[in-house]
Structure 1
Amino acid sequence: MQSTNDFSLENWHDYEIGSRREVISLLRNIGEKNQLIRMLIHGEADVCVTSILEVDADTNTLILDRSINNDQNLRILAAKRISFETTLDKIRILFASDGVTETEFEQRPALQIAVPATLVRLQRREFYRMPTPVSNPVRVIVPLPEELGGGSTVLPLADISCGGIAILDNKFILGNTIGVNYPGCRIDLPDIGTVMTTLQVRNSLDLTLLNNKANRRLGCHFIDISRVDLAMVQRYITKLERERNARIAGLS
């Protein structure tokens, strides 16, 4: 299985929160609202769900609940890099840590990291999904690994956002393994340009269409997309929105 990459934190500098006071406030709000947090070991597809037990500004520590799986706890403690993803009031929050240690909280085993120096906070607008045209679909060229026969395949998009795309795989070529990365993918955005990125499969949904044909929708996340390419994605989304609004205005 290919590696993951900190939920692409390096792609979101424009949304980075660097104020220590604001970082601590956001983390405390996440804990107070009992928001679940996805904890991902860097370089693996090993995901654990945790929650914030305490934010201690005096000691600069963040206390987290342990996994119910002891083997997973050992892998977390041995990892050199851990990524975290959650939401707060429908806003996506990302952060990372260079290490996790063991501790106790209220006489129970827990995990501990340093309070992150920065958080990434993505408003809904940043990863708003826009349906792509059906009559003239946008397509992505996905290079296939050797275990899938090599070469490449061309698949239509169902929607696009600044966080990723949804692919329609009606030939069931890519499989549905969550966490798999497909590097070197090319998305040709009409009137905008070509975007190159690694796509990571985040979710899979098998569908039965009205004509009783089977289809698979794969939700994919951008992993190493450049800021230039991300700007092209945003311009394309804006273009689609303008075209949709023009159609609506024409019908009114």
Structure 2
Amino acid sequence: MYPYLNDADMDNWHDFEVGSRREILALLRGIAEKKQMIRMLPLGDNDMCVTTILHVDTDTDTILLDRPSDPEETARLMSGRPVSFETTLDNIRIIFGTESMQLAMLDAVPALKIALPPSLIRLQRREFYRMQTPVGNPVKVVITMPEEQGGGEASFPLADISCGGIAILDNRFVLGDSIGHEYGGCRIDLPEIGPILTGLQIRNSQEMTLMNNKANRRLGCQFIDISAGAMNAVQRYIMKLERERNARMAGLS
């Protein structure tokens, strides 16, 4: 039910399982209020799509999700297979699943309905914290491409960053998706911090269909051969993003 977790995560997943109905409702409402993007993945499928929570119904213990505009995606989700969901809330990774879903409507808006999950996983250890990087002025990673892929350098925007690695958005589908493949000497230009050099190893790959129906590939990459100085720079940048996020939240309160 939790294919987003890798083997290392699975060893400790039970330590982060939330079974309290009240706590589950609070987390799901928080995700809905902040309109957090949620990645959906049917069991045994590699093609992921994105949704948001439209409504959490405490009377019926159900959740209404935004329905994909592509009928083929909806058909995959309605195939009867379990579906896993992953998102973040306040830098904490949230994972849950459902055995089935139904078609529904909410104020004339097409939706998907699932039962309130009996449990979910809330990964809040520091190494799991991921900070989403700015969308309007994205952080870029510059990767030296191998000769068989034309050589030269290519830059890609980041989706998020943590102390363990980065998520790259490869909408040109040029990096490949081979788990374990390594790229050496990558440069990440951290705003107001400076550039760092690190190796990257692909740890997971997900095909994404964005809400505008454009295809994208999200590559979760682990830092390898990163120096202590570069790691300190990453930590400083994450702290900078956290301060900016907290300032925005304080300004809205």
Query: Which residues of 2 match residues 102-251 of structure 1 at below 5 A?
Result: 102-127=103-128, 176-178=175-177, 217-221=200-204
- Where 2:96 maps in the other structure, the secondary structure is strand
Rounded Cα–Cα distance in structure 1 between residues aligned with 2:28 and 2:201: 31
Q: CA deviation at 1:76?
A: 0.5
2:91–2:129 CA contact under 8 A, matched in 1: no
Shift of 1:207: 6.5
Greater displacement, 7-16 / 20-29? 7-16
SS of alignment partner, residue 7 of structure 1: coil
Secondary structure of 2:30's counterpart equals helix
Q: Distance in 1 between matches of 2:201 and 2:69?
A: 29
- The letter of the residue matching 1:36 is M
Gap regions ≥5 residues in structure 2: 131-161, 167-173, 188-197, 205-226, 233-253
Residue 19 of structure 1 deviates from its aligned partner by: 0.3
> SS at 2:4's partner residue?
helix
Shift of 1:122: 1.0
- Measured after TM superposition, the shift of residue 165 of structure 1 is 7.2
CA distance in structure 2 between the partners assigned to 1:217 and 1:79 by the alignment:
37
CA distance in 2, matches of 1:121, 1:128: 11
C-alpha distance in 2, partners of 1:51/1:100? Answer: 15
Give the drift of 1:164.
Answer: 7.8
Unaligned runs of 5+ in 1: 130-161, 167-174, 183-198, 210-214, 222-239, 246-252
Instruction: Say whether 1:7 aligns with 2:8.
Output: no
Structure 2 Cα separation of the partners of residues 163 and 99 of structure 1: 35
Give the match's secondary structure for 1:43. coil
CA contact (8 A) 1:66 1:109 kept: yes
Displacement after TM superposition at 1:177 (Å): 3.8
Deviation at 1:127, TM superposition (A): 2.3
Report the alpha carbon displacement of residue 58 of structure 1 after superposing the two structures with TM: 1.1
Q: Give the SS at the match of 2:31.
A: helix
1:53 deviation in Å?
A: 0.3
Once residues 110 and 206 of structure 1 are traced to their aligned partners in structure 2, the CA distance between those partners, rounded to angstroms, is 44
Distance 2:202 2:92 in 1: 19
Normalised by the length of structure 2, the TM-score is: 0.53
**By how many angstroms is 1:46 displaced?**
1.3
Once the two structures are TM-superposed, the CA of residue 5 in structure 1 deviates from its matched residue by 5.7
* 1:32 and 2:29 correspond: no
CA distance in 2, matches of 1:43, 1:216: 30
The CA distance in 2 between the partners of 1:163 and 1:71, in whole Å, is 37
Structure 1 length-normalised TM: 0.53
- The amino acid across from 1:91 in the alignment is I
Match of 2:46 in 1: 45
Number of residue pairs the alignment of both structures matches: 157
Q: Which runs of 4 or more aligned residues in structure 1 lie more than 6 Å from their structure 2 counterparts after TM superposition?
A: 162-166, 204-209
